[in-house]
Structure 1
Amino acid sequence: MGAKWSVIPLIEDHLATFRDQRTNEKRNKDYLVFYAAPTGFALSCYLAGFEMRDPASILAGIAVFTALLFGLLIHVFSLGLRIKDDPRQSSTGRTAILIDQLQANVGYAVLVGIVTTTLLIIAAATTGKDQPIGVLMSALIAGALLHLMLTVFMALKRTRAAYHELRF
């Protein structure tokens, strides 16, 4: 059992969703898209000398977005409980699996949002007014923002799949 503040289970749950729905085989392409692409993007930003401006404005948006994601996480949790208690739904059925995966993805998105918010707080606190953020910090933030966006897209896809499973 790990520390109460450990985020490793959130990461493990998210990574467990990187599987093909039909064959249940690991999808290496998902690792490339979710980790190599943001890392490559951040590296490209760094090499290009990209410098963000006005971290406080970006921080405000990401902080609100992360809070909304946390609210969604609580909603998905309650949805999972309702599906568990619904006698028409199997706890091992496709809908239940999709809701579990959605829970993992949204939980991970909250984690990425918190990390991104923290990076932006550091950037805002260490950058003078009307000064650009340093190249390294700008690259880290850009990569984190892309990673967050891709994770939210994955959650959207799972939401759509669960809806179609229930409706059709």
Structure 2
Amino acid sequence: MSAKWSILPLVEDHLDTFRDQRTNELRRQDYLSFYAFPLAIGIACYLFDFKMQDPASILAGIAVFTALLFGLLIHIFSMGLRVNDDPRLPKSGKLATLIDQLQANVSYSILIGIITTAFLIAAAAIRENNQPINSFLSAIITTLLVHLMLTVLMALKRTRAAYAALRF
């Protein structure tokens, strides 16, 4: 896609972070952890007929959380600029790679947050008389929420690794 709103580069950058640090090979277990596991949770929610009671409450939290991720992305951008401008730090290497990966993961987290927000808006809009939403939509939202949390945890781990790389 060449449209200005294309999300494909965000997804590609994020998936490119699923590499082994030592060998630079793609790690299949990352795909299982970040996609198959949340999907399995979502399928289980559907099979056990899980129905969300109040999507509007979750919507408020995810909307704020996604906004905070936007702020974090701006901070990562400025951190990348500072590292690039600091003559004491190499322009490539572990720290630069970690910052690039962190930027990719947080950007992707924002994308998942936006998608989750859209599903929650739809769920809140179609909900009738304070009834729970159906198990299919509940399963999709649960899958997205688990995926989002795992991706944020990966970004947190990369933040720690970047800090450790700065401590020479």
TM-score of the pair, normalised by structure 1: 0.98
Amino acid aligned to 2:94: R
1:72 maps to 72
Please state how far the C-alpha of 1:128 moved relative to its aligned partner.
Answer: 1.9
Aligned to 2:8: 8
Q: How far is the alpha carbon of 1:130 from its aligned partner?
A: 2.0
Q: Distance in 2 between matches of 1:44 and 1:91?
A: 46
Alpha-carbon distance in structure 2 between the residues aligned to 1:14 and 1:63? 21
Give the AA of the match of 1:122. Answer: A
- Alignment partner, residue 41 of structure 1: 41
Cα deviation per residue 1:8-58 (whole Å; 9 max; x = unaligned)? 000000000000111111100000000001111111111110000111111
Structure 1 unaligned runs (5+)? none
In structure 2, the residue matched to 1:99 is 99
Once residues 159 and 95 of structure 1 are traced to their aligned partners in structure 2, the CA distance between those partners, rounded to angstroms, is: 10
* Alignment partner, residue 153 of structure 1: 153
In structure 2, C-alpha distance between the alignment counterparts of 1:61 and 1:109, rounded to whole Å: 15
Q: Give the aligned partner of residue 125 of structure 1.
A: 125
Aligned length: 168
Cα distance in 1 between the residues matched to 2:146 and 2:40: 11
C-alpha distance in structure 2 between counterparts of 1:84 and 1:46, whole Å: 47
Measure the CA separation in 2 of the matches of 1:64 and 1:13. 24
Q: Kindly state the Cα deviation for residue 129 of structure 1 after the two structures are TM-superposed.
A: 3.6
CA distance in 2, matches of 1:155, 1:52: 28
Deviation by residue 1:124-149 (Cα, 9 ceiling, x = unmatched)? 00002421011110000000000000
Give, in whole Å, the separation in 2 of the partners of 1:40 and 1:23: 29
SS in structure 1 of the partner of residue 166 of structure 2: helix
Distance (Å, rounded) in 1 between the aligned partners of 2:129 and 2:120 = 14
What root-mean-square deviation, in Å, do the aligned CA atoms of Structure 1 and Structure 2 show?
A: 0.9
Partner of 2:58: 58
User: 1:26 maps to which residue?
Assistant: 26
- Shift, 1:85, TM fit: 0.9
Distance 1:19 1:47 in 2: 33
Stretches of structure 2 that go unaligned for 5 or more consecutive residues are none
Cα distance in 2 for partners of 1:111, 1:48 equals 28
Give % identity: 67
1:41 is aligned with what amino acid? I
